[in-house]
Amino acid sequence: MDMIAPCIRWVSIIWGYILRLFGQTKAADLPSDIVVDIFSRLPAELVFQCRDGSRMISTLTTSSSFIKMHLNRATSIIVLQYAVVFETLNFRKGIYESHVPLCFIDEENKKIVKRRLQVSFSCTFEDRWPLLLFQSCNGLLMFENRSVVVIWNPITQEHTIIDIPDSSYVCGFYFHEKTGDYKVVCVRKLKKSLKLIIISILTGSSKQTTWFSQPPHPKAPVILNGLLHWMVWGEPYGRTKCTTLKSSGSIFSFDVDSENIRTIARPTGKNDRPMLLDFVHLLKKEGFLCFCDVTSCTYIDIWILEDYEAEVWIKLQRISLDFLSSSNWKYTVYPLRALRMDKDELIVRWQNILYRYNLRQNIAKKVEMRGTEELPGYYMLLHTNSLVSPHTDNILSFDSPSGTK
């Protein structure tokens, strides 16, 4: 670990060399596949800066094959929205501005970068709602404020704004391989059915599917093998805001190619009882869907969907929460969440603190966040910086047929 800090200092020096090398010599001097290979291992930010220095670098690093290779090699970082800010009127420009303050925490390289998403718009007289961080996908961050979705690349600063259709809520966005298009998923709840509205960012067009059961929960989906998964949004339970979850049909699954919807049963134990939805969530591990039950104060149960078609769940592991030594833990109903499961590691979030839990050794280690865990307000995601473009800077409108306005 101690080796990393000096390496990072070297990166900018190496970058200087690279820039001079490519700036002075002709493209033929170094085979382009070697150049591509070097650049695909550099941080997205550095690659983006290098584009200004050389035409050749710019051409090579804007190709979609390069962007894909770079994305696959990049490691994930933590992104944290640390304040919820309502829009302000910029008197000088006579426009309204929304901004979202974010912190990017690169644990491995011991680096913290603060950035702001800034969106301006002219005044409309409607109820205001702040932009909130919702999802990360291929290096793009998605925010929503109940009337629009903003998809933004924090490195290239490109963004796209998409209107959320009337009386709908947003459930996430995904990349559709076959069409090379990003799509936003919205849901309109009707009396006896719901409409799933899929909006294409490339064309601005939308498609609807009708479904006669529970809608998906407005949370980022778990994307796996071309399928999107959400917990369903059940009936409200008691006076709390939680909703209960019956076992059958508790997971909503959407196939991005066929656009078919189905539901999957959640795992059930011996003494099955309705579960409070706010305390369970989905994850993925090596191509399998996982179910994370945090309804207990003393352990987390992780299940794995071993047979997708037959809906067969196997309990993978019970994780003791002893590592949350905080004395108030047992008295708070603060939802504990597992953010990611990779090979032998589970990343668990409690309040603003992250733990890396080793599933083999049963050891938890606190993630070094260098003071940012103290920041107020928190929407936290794992994210990978990339050079992926959200395609357009135009505002896509759901209602206009051409998709632009």
Taking the CA atoms of the chain, what radius of gyration do you get in angstroms? 22
Q: How far apart, in Å, are the Cα atoms of 121 and each of 91, 93, 118, 143, 164?
A: 13, 11, 10, 15, 16
* Choices 142-150, 227-235, 281-289, 307-315 (CB under 6 A): range interacting with ligand NAG: 142-150
Per the CB < 8 A criterion, the answer to whether 345 and 317 are in contact is no
Binding status of residue 162 toward ligand NAG by CB under 6 A: no
In terms of phi and psi (left: phi > 0; alpha: psi -120 to 50; beta: otherwise), the region of 351 is left
- Kindly tell me which of 121 and 334 has the beta carbon lying closer to ligand NAG: 121
Binding mask 205-244 for ligand NAG (x = CB under 6 A): ----------------------------------------
Residue of the chain from 28, 91, 124, 125 that contacts ligand NAG (CB under 6 A): 124
Tell whether residue 356 is a contact of ligand NAG (CB under 6 A): no
Residues 150/159, Cβ–Cβ less than 8 Å: yes
18, 24 Cβ separation under 8 angstroms: no
Q: Please tell me whether residue 128 binds ligand NAG under the rule CB under 6 A.
A: yes
Helices (H), 25-63: 32-39, 44-50, 55-61
Rule CB under 6 A: which of 273-332 touch ligand NAG? none
Say if residues 389 and 153 touch (Cβ distance below 8 Å): yes
166 binds ligand NAG (CB under 6 A): no
Q: How far is the CB of 125 from ligand NAG (least distance, A)?
A: 9
| Sole binder of ligand NAG in the list 148, 292, 316, 380 (CB under 6 A) | 148
**385 vs 48: CA distance, rounded Å:** 11
51, 68, 111, 146: which one binds ligand NAG (CB under 6 A): 146
Q: Decide if residue 168 touches ligand NAG (CB under 6 A).
A: no
Residue 121 contacts ligand NAG per CB under 6 A: yes
User: What length does the chain have?
Assistant: 405
> Is residue 120 within 8 Å of 90, Cβ to Cβ?
yes
Residues within window 90-109 making contact with ligand NAG, judged by CB under 6 A? 98
Give the nearer residue to ligand NAG in terms of CB position, either 14 or 83.
83
| Identity of the amino acid at 156 | T
Q: How many residues bind ligand NAG (CB under 6 A)?
A: 12
In the complex, the smallest distance separating the C-beta of residue 126 from ligand NAG, rounded to whole angstroms, is 6
For residue 189, give the nearest of 166, 222, 172 by alpha carbon. Answer: 166
* Binding region for ligand NAG (CB under 6 A): 98, 119, 121, 124, 126-129, 145-148
